[in-house]
Chain A
Amino acid sequence: MLSLIGKKVGMTQVFDETGVLTPVTVVKVEENVVIANKSIEKDGYEAVVLGSIERKEKHTTKPVAGQFKEGVTPKRKIVEVRDFGKECAVGDTFGVELIEGVEFVDVIGTSKGKGYQGVMKRHNFGGGRKTHGSKFHRANGSTGMAATPSRVIKGTKMAGRMGGERKTVQNLQVVKIDTERQVLLIKGAVPGTKDSFVIVRKAKKL
């Protein structure tokens, strides 16, 4: 699947020629470099390792530097992409031109951390009445049965840390590919904060 490493810049709106205002997320793509190729003979699967955004030499430890072969400078973000769908050699570089002609993409990012949240926000529980003598407002309610099984089933939805995890949003429309600014305009929202890394991938289920 064709993929690119990008950085979320923020959101804005664009007019199309019929005057419809579309909300878009701006994703900046800095030069993506092929760091390594994985092959069936050697690794058991086919993949391409992409890297993006320069890493300072003084921040590069020797084990990290070892991944970058001849002619490739160390990068901050490294992503392995299975079945890239395009022949490429180590050292090849890509920009937004790579997904020219692609209409829909999936965007993978780390969602914003929400901290410790209750079940209503975290799992969309309904909650109880606020008034009329109700003593049940935002609590989680029952978590299981009685003497059998006399324990709580694993994976029961409860309060806890929310956000800050890898999320994929599928089938987002590509509104514009701006080769001049190396920027993608993707319709709708994308997980993560501003300046966070995102992976833009050609839509898997389309």
Chain B
Amino acid sequence: MDIIKSIESDQIKENVENFKIGDTIKVFYKIIEGKTERVQVYEGLALALNNAGINRTVTVRKISHGVGVERIFPINSPKIEKIEVTRRGKVRRAKLYYIRERVGKAAKVKELIKKKADQK
């Protein structure tokens, strides 16, 4: 198994998982259109982290034109340029699937406000 782990560890990116579940994140995703390459930004709520190792994925949910959209990103993919956190969320679960059934203000995740003493 050690050989397999070392092959996988070559491809696993460092410090990509800089967010936590409940955070609002921006995923910078490279798109190839013919010959040009551009970066698309997808912003939404980090709903769940799944799998392990090379195939680790994050589910990101956003409301687009009144319709809930969920996209699953493989976080070790070379197509993901970076992931930025725009807002920290305060949640008590690892999977926020209950958000799907909520509408309006009930679907909101409270912002995590840290004490100044904890930040250090």
Q: Are B54 and A13 in contact (CB under 8 A)?
A: yes
A12 surroundings in chain B (CB, below 8 A): 4, 7-8, 54
A181: interface (CB < 8 Å): yes
State whether A9 and B3 are in contact (beta carbons under 8 Å apart), knowing that A14-B11, A18-B32, A21-B55 are contacts in the complex. yes
Task: Determine which of A18, A19, A21, A26 lies in contact with B7 in the assembled complex, contact meaning CB atoms within 8 Å.
Answer: A26
A17: interface (CB < 8 Å): yes
Binary CB contact string for chain B from 75 to 119 against chain A (1 if under 8 A, 0 otherwise): 011110000000000000000000000000000000000000000
CA of A18 to CA of B32, assembled, Å: 9
Provide the main secondary structure of the chain A interface.
strand
Q: Are A19 and B3 in contact (CB under 8 A)?
A: no
| A/B interface sample: 18 pairs, CB < 8 A | A9-B3, A12-B8, A12-B54, A13-B55, A15-B54, A15-B76, A18-B32, A18-B78, A19-B79, A21-B54, A21-B74, A21-B77, A26-B3, A28-B3, A181-B7, A183-B3, A183-B7, A185-B7
A78 to chain B, nearest CB (A): 24
Instruction: Give the interface size bracket for B toward A.
Output: 10 to 19
Binding site for B on A (CB under 8 A): 9-15, 17-19, 21, 26, 28, 178, 181, 183, 185
Q: Are B4 and A15 in contact (CB under 8 A)?
A: no
Q: Name the CB-closest residue of A to B5.
A: A12
State whether A19 and B55 are in contact (beta carbons under 8 Å apart), knowing that A9-B3, A9-B4 are contacts in the complex. no
Q: Are A10 and B4 in contact (CB under 8 A)?
A: yes
CA of A21 to CA of B11, assembled, Å: 11
B18: interface (CB < 8 Å): no
Interface centre among B3, B6, B11 (most CB of A within 10 A): B3
Binding site for A on B (CB under 8 A): 1, 3-4, 6-8, 11, 30, 32, 54-55, 74, 76-79
Q: Name the CB-closest residue of A to B80.
A: A19
Q: Name the CB-closest residue of A to B1.
A: A10
Q: Name the CB-closest residue of A to B11.
A: A15
B76 surroundings in chain A (CB, below 8 A): 15
B1 surroundings in chain A (CB, below 8 A): 10
State whether A181 and B77 are in contact (beta carbons under 8 Å apart), knowing that A13-B55, A15-B11, A21-B55 are contacts in the complex. no
4 residue pairs, one from A and one from B, having the closest CB atoms: A19-B79, A19-B77, A12-B4, A9-B3
CA of A18 to CA of B11, assembled, Å: 14
B74 surroundings in chain A (CB, below 8 A): 19, 21
State whether A181 and B11 are in contact (beta carbons under 8 Å apart), knowing that A13-B55, A15-B76 are contacts in the complex. no
A10 surroundings in chain B (CB, below 8 A): 1, 4
B3 surroundings in chain A (CB, below 8 A): 9, 26, 28, 181, 183
B54 surroundings in chain A (CB, below 8 A): 12-15, 21
B11 surroundings in chain A (CB, below 8 A): 14-15
